[in-house]
Structure 1
């Protein structure tokens, strides 16, 4: 079984209340720590990687992002999915090639561009279809839907985008920052795996609770990196 096949198998079927939980490492050391804790797969967060490289979220050069993903993938023996933001302006075929070269078995691709402007859903669906075609089953494509972070938060729009992306071949959809209360509605309308974001500050539902509401998998964005940075600041301050 290839890495992509193993990663895909981890998503289906998932018992209700038992979502696939994917921590977000930002470098090789954090990736190894997550695997040592028993996680079966990892999902890099672009914002967390950006912070570790000294960039603002969304400002990491593509070459540096792919190099960071490659270091993480080389450091562990579990599947690694990479957050590649909006695709860095790369043609789908080149994006797939670079992901595979980095050792990734999956990717997040968001449907907003520079300045948080939502992309035309039909054009973005065509882009996703080309990614899926070029990958030929070698990548698990998670289509991020940004209507709750950059749009007007209309669940109908989110569900319409999800339907377009699933029809284009996306393996999973990710309505980032969707309110947990909308999850049952989203779940009823979305075919296939559904990714939800969990918080690490004790606010909002736990991963298990998100699973009960219909999430197939749960990620944390840059939450782990930001929490680790906060702990390091406390330690550093104590040393003074």
Structure 2
């Protein structure tokens, strides 16, 4: 029996109450189904991973593309899905609210709003505007009592601003503005992670882990509630495609296909 959207949203909130869980990032319906098959309790979309399936760089797809993608993934799996909703696909708070309302209709259990402007020269929205954008997202989520979990993201570390005090100031402000979960992609040391967890307590913290980083157990011991991997799984998939394709293009040989995942196993999994 498929769970209702309300069931998924309630389950997602419960996951944030104790312990630490991995929320891996599928990039299409097939990868979402595979991750559910492996026993993960929730999933998160990846803006980069999805953009690459569309032949676009990250942060270059439309809000309609993303909402259609989210609708398809939410309908395909029986576990909660969190949306990487980038900057809300607008700068102005009222437009962010309109787009968040559209995302809520896709069936997501959660979504994140980041403070990256899209301009590397001035990467972060002014603090006051960034806070208003979180408030607008909160109001849009609460308008129909959807129960969607809102994550506030500070992009400072990812954009080269390694100022932990700035990050903590913003995350605490986002929490006050209505964010249920806080996220600062790019923090990595025990000291940074612990400081963020302590600053926003008791609200849960999401940690981004890529090629290196703490294990699930170690992150949990630091007080992290949730670990996501961003575009890492998508990059792994592309690594296999590009390695085999380059071999064909450059050498005219096909040996890399021996490393492919068995088609019979995939058919069995998707049956």
Pairwise same-fold verdict (TM > 0.5): yes
Matched, 1:32 2:33: yes
What secondary structure is seen at the aligned counterpart in 2 of 1:23? coil
Unaligned ranges ≥5, structure 2: 1-5, 248-252, 256-271
Unaligned segments of structure 1, at least 5 residues: none
User: What is the Cα deviation at residue 40 of structure 1?
Assistant: 0.9
TM-score, normalised with respect to structure 1: 0.91
**SS of residue paired to 1:4:** helix
Aligned counterpart, 1:57: 58
Shift of 1:235: 4.1
Comparing 148-157 with 104-113, greater Cα deviation is found at 148-157
Residues 1:186 and 2:187 are matched in the alignment: no
Q: Is the 8 Å Cα contact of residues 125 and 168 (structure 1) preserved in structure 2?
A: yes
Compare 51-60 and 98-107 and name the one that shifted more: 98-107
Specify the SS of the correspondent of 2:186.
coil
In structure 2, the residue matched to 1:110 is 114
Cα distance in 1 for residues equivalent to 2:197 and 2:10: 24
Q: How many correspondences in the alignment?
A: 234
- Find the aligned partners of 2:108 and 2:160 in 1 and give their Cα distance: 29
Partner of 1:149: 158
Post-superposition shift, 1:161?
A: 0.3
Equivalent residues in 2 for 1:120-159, closer than 5 Å: 120-136=126-142, 137-138=145-146, 139-159=148-168
- Offset from partner CA, 1:57-109 (integer Å, 9 cap, x none): 11112211111111111111111111111011172432232112222121111
Note if contact 1:180-1:210 (Cα within 8 Å) is conserved in structure 2: no
Q: Per-residue displacement from partner, 1:14-61 (whole Å, max 9, x unpaired)?
A: 2xxxx1210100100000000000011100010111111110011112
Instruction: Indicate if the aligned counterparts of 2:74 and 2:81 stay in contact, CA closer than 8 A.
Output: yes
1:66-77 to structure 2, matched below 5 A, reads 66-77=67-78
Distance across 2 between alignment mates of 1:180 and 1:208:
15
2:102 to 86, 98, 105: 98
Between the aligned partners of 1:115 and 1:168, the Cα distance in structure 2 is: 24
- By how many angstroms is 1:125 displaced? 1.4
SS class of match (1:142): strand
Instruction: Report if the CA contact (8 A) 1:128-1:169 is conserved.
Output: yes
Distance in 1 separating the partners of 2:188 and 2:66: 29
Structure with higher Rg: it is 2
